[in-house]
Structure 1
Amino acid sequence: MKKSLLLTSASLLLVMTACSNGSSDNSSSASPSPGSSAKAEAKPDTVKVWTYPVHATYEDDLKALIADFNKQYPHIKVEYEMLSWAEGPKKFDVALNSGNPPDLYFHSVDGQYVATGLAIELDKYLTPEIKEDYLPGTLELGQIQGKQYGLPIYQYQWAWGGNKRLLEEAGIDWQKIQKQGWTWSEFLAAAEKLTKKRPDGSTQYALTTDGNGANNDFIELLTKNAGIPDVLDKDGNFQLGDQRVLKTMQFIKTLLDKGYMPKETAALDAKKRTDMFYAGQTAILSKAIPYYDVTIQNRNKDIDAGKIQGEKIDFVLLPVPHADDAKPGTVMGGEGYVAFRQKKDQGEEHARNTFLVMEALSGAKAGNSANELCLPFVRKSQQKEFEGKGKANPVNLEAANIMAANRVNPVVLSLDVTKADKMKQFKEQVLKPNMQALYAGEKTPEAIAETFKTEGKKFFGQ
């Protein structure tokens, strides 16, 4: 999950999941299944897939899905490459910009992809049966302005995560928070209790995030909970020019000034943030996904087995607190596969074969990714396939379901490709460096708010 779940993803996956390269060795001469002689006689074709270690055993899932696919379509060879979360996005961007992307890429849909003219519109390939299989509101997570460009395999969900022992020692009613949420004022009151000196003289912080400039996750979590849908709203109106964003920046500065977050936040990367959580140096970390429950359970088992040293942790999934005058908003969206043609177009038959592979990697058995990651399914067939097989602590699964009721869909799905591309540029060129400056104490919230207004006019004319 970059925004991908992921793990868009996800900092714990960077720590827990190793990456590798591979390709299927299925031969186009494999025996056809009964009644598939026409498919067996079809022209041999190769579909290339670039993906990520979505969860710890995703490559095993992928091999099994491809093997099942080749029983029905032996003439279509599927070659895959397992990218790393750290370097994969850069590699894909280079390939896309050169006009030679893979046929399928694991990601959420992006207006930038559509703007290249290489993303394949999928509507003509979607059968009524496929559409009916998707749960309400989930197929739309693969659309840009109502046109289908991707097939999601799960709904990603961002939250905060807490150490149960540290929360309870501070008298924090985490179960109430899971059920009812909390405001920024309530979080500040809790943060004061959670911040203290440890026996070894080090500080236990209330909250830690990775502020080294690698992403905008922290500010996006907070702005969604301040009534700000994104840099733009679904109609393309600029959103970072009023008091809501100033209040958000002031809230973050308060966390830093009070010592509730580390002074060195600007230098913390995802691994350091996670290490601090494991060491009990922070009670809460941002961001967290439900899958952390499983990875931490596995870590506890390794501690019991003597494989690693450390304190076992009971993980608590927590909603992000919302501004006192705003409603809670949970950052959610869809991640799965997006289909592309190349500058040297291989034709309609290849495009259709690409969709066949895409559907095979997104169907019922592909729901194991949602099951492993403890994330909401997108298809009815996935729900049925994995019913009763959930892996997260039931209280955390319930908390995730409650948060899902406050889902804020990605604004980018509603924007035209030009505005979506400009919004992405604004996040990289304006939002990210200014957040870094805030963490480092180099700019005040007021100065940053003015910068947003000025740059908003330059980027969007508003």
Structure 2
Amino acid sequence: MKMNKWLALFMVLVLVAVTAACGKKEETPQAGGDTTKVDTTPDTVKVWTYPVHGTYENDMKDLVADFNKQYPHIKVEYEVMSWAEGPKKFDVALNAGDPPDLYFGALNGSYVSTGLVLPLDSYMTPQIKEDFLPGTLETMQMNGKQYGIPIYQSLWGWGGNKRILTEAGVDYKKIQEKGWTWTEFLDIAKKLTKKLPNGTQQYAITTDNSTDFIDMLSKANGLVDAVDEKGNFIWNDNKMLDTLKFIDTLRKEGYMPKEVGALTPAKRTDMFYAGQSAIISKAIPYYDIMIANRNKDIDAGKVQGEKIEYIQLPVPHGDGISGYGKTAGGGEGYIMFRQKNDKGAQHAKNAFLVMEALTGAKAGNSANELALPFVRKSQAKAFEGKSLAKPENVVAATNMRNNASVNVSLTIDADKAAKLKQYREQVLKPTFQALLAGEKTPEAAADDLKSKGTQMLK
């Protein structure tokens, strides 16, 4: 009997030990470098992402494999969705209260208003924060709270054809380093606008009928948006009238096509490729890579046309603005969500570990592939000397990043952000298109923007 009691006690001790082992906490290295106790209970983190660049799915495989060497108990289920269908799928999931744990994109105030976006501040160690370059983390903050981690910072500028700029004597390297004013651009535009030997017209610049053009120029002229960071309406400033006058001058002087109001983005690009436009508007640094690939296709006989050397240019700014001028753009990376049926604090911690792995040093390959400046010091170090962009374009993109404009929709409340969106769609878009068509003078367009903005955004 005594033997049976000891045997029973032994079996209880074994059972306790086995149970503890199933949910034990081990000394495991945390993302960010700290070594703390981590719950190793098996868990699954769901990630929805996009083909950020041509080989991004290979990046995902490598990043997840590296992550699982440290955290084998956390399974990462990821899906690379199409840019066309992915946003719809995500909106349906979010509205149903069942979004993925991590979603790739830019921070959107409407996401935060659902209450399902998780703030990251409690997970952001000093070591993580210090790794980010100035102004980069802010691209995914809203009202001072961190809701996402960027893997790159998108930048909107202008792009030039090196051959045409050089033939006109344009010192594009100086522009890339110092920026340029509207007066300087207009002087250059005269040289870039001419009849070509084949009878076609070469324009200084070509854009399309989207409001991106006026956004870039007004930001460069010191107007962050229709409202400032506190939600105050600011397009009643003379800087907006000056912006409208500059655009009207481009149209009247023939520096851009008079039919610009009817041009699609595809037609704008075709004109740039055909040498009918010296400069193209809303040109991102990735054009450096994209056009280099097109040149390879021309060499291989897959595409017909002239090879182009791409030059990244900042948007020119008003003469009254000192310095480089502000650049439009924003951060894109991963945002963390909880579900209506919350999976708990430990699951959220695990999701953040995955997020940090997908945005760390090795994830800098996305910025490199897109010819964008790195957002983290560790990324810059990991890809030092491996840039795919031309050195002068790296200079331009870096200066543009250092002068990036804040996204005011992330600093104002959700109600004001919704009104701003409505104003831009109902007022800015038709007013801008009327200006491009010559149906409204700059003064009349400025009055419309001012009077309706005062009503809608007061």
Unpaired stretches in structure 1, ≥5 consecutive residues: 1-33
Mark the CA change 1:428 to 1:74 in structure 2 (over 3 Å): closer, same or farther. farther
Q: Return 243-252 or 344-353, whichever deviates more.
A: 344-353
Moved more, 256-265 or 409-418: 409-418
State whether structure 2 residue 412 is matched by structure 1 residue 415.
yes
Report the alpha carbon displacement of residue 321 of structure 1 after superposing the two structures with TM.
0.8
d(CA) in 2 for partners of 1:86 and 1:252?
Answer: 32
1:152-192 deviation per Cα after TM superposition (whole angstroms, max 9, x unaligned): 11222221100011112223222232233221122122222
Same amino acid, percent of matched pairs: 62
CA contact (8 A) 1:225 1:322 kept: yes
Q: Secondary structure at the match of 1:123?
A: coil
Q: More deviation in 187-196 or 357-366?
A: 187-196
2:274 corresponds to 1:276: no
- Matched residue count: 425
Does 2:284 align with 1:289? yes
State the structure with more CA Rg: 2
Corresponding residue number in structure 2 for 1:390: 387
Unaligned runs of 5+ in 2: 1-25, 30-36
Alignment of 1:283-432 (within 5 A): 283-327=278-322, 328-432=325-429
More divergent stretch after superposition (121-130 vs 423-432)? 423-432
SS of alignment partner, residue 403 of structure 1: helix
**In structure 1, which of residues 96, 99, 103 is the aligned counterpart of residue 97 of structure 2?**
99
Q: Whole-Å Cα distance in 2 between the matches of residues 316 and 121 of structure 1?
A: 39
Match of 1:158 among 156, 181, 184: 156
Q: CA 1:44–1:405 in 2, change beyond 3 Å: closer, same or farther?
A: closer
Q: 1:132 to 1:58 in 2, by over 3 A?
A: same
TM-score (norm 2): 0.85
- Please say if residues 43 and 347 of structure 2, whose CA atoms lie closer than 8 Å, have aligned partners that are also in contact: no
| Residues 36-86 of structure 1: per-residue CA shift (max 9 Å, x gap) | 699795143241x22222222112111211222223333433333333334
Find the aligned partners of 1:127 and 1:351 in 2 and give their Cα distance. 16
The 8 Å contact of residues 288 and 310 in structure 2, kept in 1 or not, is answered as yes
Partner residue in 2 for 1:234: 229
Equivalent pair of 2:240/2:446 in contact (CA under 8 Å): yes
Contact 1:336-1:362 within 8 A present in 2 as well: yes
Say whether the 8 Å CA contact 1:156–1:376 is kept in structure 2.
no
| Distance in 2 separating the partners of 1:364 and 1:394 | 21
Is 1:50 the counterpart of 2:45 in the alignment? no
Q: CA deviation at 1:291?
A: 1.8
Please give the residue correspondences for 1:72-151 in structure 2 after superposition, counting only pairs within 5 Å.
Answer: 72-151=70-149
Query: Deviation string for 1:285-312 (max 9, x for gaps)?
Result: 0111222112212222222222322111
- Cα distance, 1:190–1:155 mapped onto 2, change above 3 Å: same
Deviations 1:4-52 (A, max 9, x none): xxxxxxxxxxxxxxxxxxxxxxxxxxxxxx97699795143241x2222
Higher alpha-carbon deviation: 182-191 or 360-369:
182-191
Corresponding position of 1:28:
none
TM superposition shift of 1:125: 1.8
Gap change, CA 1:205 and 1:392, over 3 Å in 2: same
In 1: Cα distance, 2:84 partner to 2:271 partner: 21
- 8 Å contact from structure 1 (residues 225, 329) kept in 2: yes
Q: Deviations over 1:379-406 (max 9, x none)?
A: 1211221111111111121222333443
Mapping for residues 33-48 of structure 1, pairs under 5 Å = 42-47=41-46
CA-CA distance at 1:224 after TM superposition: 0.9
- Residue of structure 2 equivalent to 1:183: 181
Contact 2:176–2:314, Cα closer than 8 Å, also in 1? yes
Q: Distance in 1 between matches of 2:66 and 2:263?
A: 43
Tell me by how many angstroms 1:369 deviates: 1.0
CA RMSD of aligned residues (A): 2.5
Q: Check whether the contact 1:105–1:337 (CA below 8 A) recurs between aligned residues.
A: yes
Cα distance, 1:433 vs structure 2: 3.2
Q: Is the 8 A contact 1:111 1:421 kept in 2?
A: no
Which whole-Å deviations, capped at 9, do the CAs of 1:95-124 have from their partners, x for residues lacking one? 434434332222222222212212111111
The CA deviation at 1:332 is: 4.1
User: What is the SS of the residue equivalent to 2:275?
Assistant: coil
Distance 2:260 2:348 in 1: 46
SS of aligned partner of 2:222: coil
